[in-house]
Amino acid sequence: MILIGHNVRIIAKPGSRIVVSDIGILKIGINFMSDKQTVVYLGPQSALYVYSCEFMKGCHLVLMDYAKMYVGYNTYINEDSTVEVRSKLFIGNGSALSKQIYITDSDMHKIIENGKEKTHTSPIFIGNKVWIGLRSVVLKGVSIGNNTVVAANSTVVKNVAAGQVVAGMPAKVVKENVTWEY
Ligand SMILES: CC(C)(COP(=O)(O)OP(=O)(O)OC[C@H]1O[C@@H](n2cnc3c(N)ncnc32)[C@H](O)[C@@H]1OP(=O)(O)O)[C@@H](O)C(=O)NCCC(=O)NCCS
């Protein structure tokens, strides 16, 4: 089932698809706290696979050509967040992604270092029960383990192991062996 709120724009290019699990629900822009526009852009041949999740008001979800995004159950992305996928993004179950976060698996532009082109796009993996704090940024190629907390205003550029709290820009480990509750 897909529930779509007011002021939601879905742009679906040829060959793109949204696949929701038989017993799951995808909610897009249905929270009532604001009337900001929520935009979902599905580029040609892209696919969004969802078990059960919510993209709140003001979110921009952009899947470029052939991009794939997978979201588990009981996961939400809060207001005014932007997610841009060029290759692959996986988000597990029970994860809480706060307001105004930015996740992208691509630098969009290429850096040439000593005449050699660097990789500018690489998949992102976000595990189960990951809490990403307000205004944080998650960049290409990182893997964030289960039960982690990304503190507010952090920029994640390297892998985060399970059960860690990371903070800062770039995000560094400030605590280990943690869990967290809603
Ligand atoms: C990370 C957080 C949860 C606090 O966790 P905590 O275990 O209580 O951490 P502490 O306050 O003990 O801080 C541990 C260290 O991390 C640092 N730290 C905590 N939050 C930080 C942040 N956002 N940026 C930079 N450093 C931070 C602290 O200064 C401290 O550093 P020190 O050991 O050098 O003194 C909290 O700071 C935070 O960022 N909350 C996010 C809130 C949010 O976004 N809510 C949205 C609603 S979903």
Average of per-residue pLDDT across 139-165:
98
Average confidence (pLDDT) over 71-92: 97
For ligand 1, atom 20: residue with the closest CA: 151
CA of 169 to the centre of ligand 1 (A): 13
pLDDT for position 64: 98
- Per-residue confidence (pLDDT) for residue 24, from 0 to 100: 94
CATH for the stretch 2-108+120-175? 2.160.10.10
Band of residue 25 on the pLDDT scale cut at 50, 70, 90: very high
Burial class (CB in 10 A: 0-12, 13-18, 19+), 136: buried
For residue 152, report the distance from its CA to the centre of ligand 1, in Å.
Answer: 7
Where does the pLDDT of residue 34 fall: very low under 50, low under 70, confident under 90, or very high at 90 and above? confident
| Ligand 1 atom at shortest distance from the alpha carbon of 132 | 44
Residue 10 near ligand 1, beta carbon < 6 Å: no
pLDDT, tens digit, 9 for 90 and up, residues 87-135: 999 999 999 999 999 999 999 999 999 999 999 999 999 999 999 999 9
Partners of 147 in the β-ladder: none
Phi first, then psi: what are they for 52, rounded to 5°? -165, 110
| Closest atom of ligand 1 relative to the 180 alpha carbon | 3
- Taking CA atoms only, the protein residue closest to ligand 1 atom 27 is 167
Scanning the structure block, which residue is given the tokens 């952009």? 62
Q: Is ligand 1 within 6 A of the CB of residue 173?
A: no
pLDDT of residue 35: 85
Pocket test for ligand 1, best of 75, 166, 174 (most atoms within 8 A of CB): 174
Please answer whether residues 35 and 7 qualify as being in contact, where contact means their C-beta atoms are separated by less than 8 angstroms.
yes
Q: Distance between CA atoms of 95 and 102, rounded to whole angstroms?
A: 15
Nearest-Å Rg of the Cα atoms of the chain is 16
Over the stretch 46-60, which tens digit does the pLDDT of each residue have? Answer: 999 999 999 999 999
Q: Which residues face 48 on adjacent strands?
A: 18, 69
- 115, two tokens: 């005449």
Does the beta carbon of 133 sit less than 6 angstroms from any atom of ligand 1? yes
Task: Please tell me the distance between residue 106's alpha carbon and the centre of ligand 1 in angstroms.
Answer: 27
Nearest residue CA, atom 34 of ligand 1? 174
Q: What angle do CA 174, 73, 98 make, to 5 degrees?
A: 45
Q: What pLDDT is attached to residue 140?
A: 98
Region 18-22 average pLDDT: 95
pLDDT the model gives residue 21: 95
Candidates 80, 62, 84; CA nearest to 138 is 84
pLDDT at 136: 98
Task: Name every residue whose Cβ is closer than 8 Å to that of residue 37 and which is 6 or more positions away in sequence.
Answer: 7, 8, 9, 29, 58
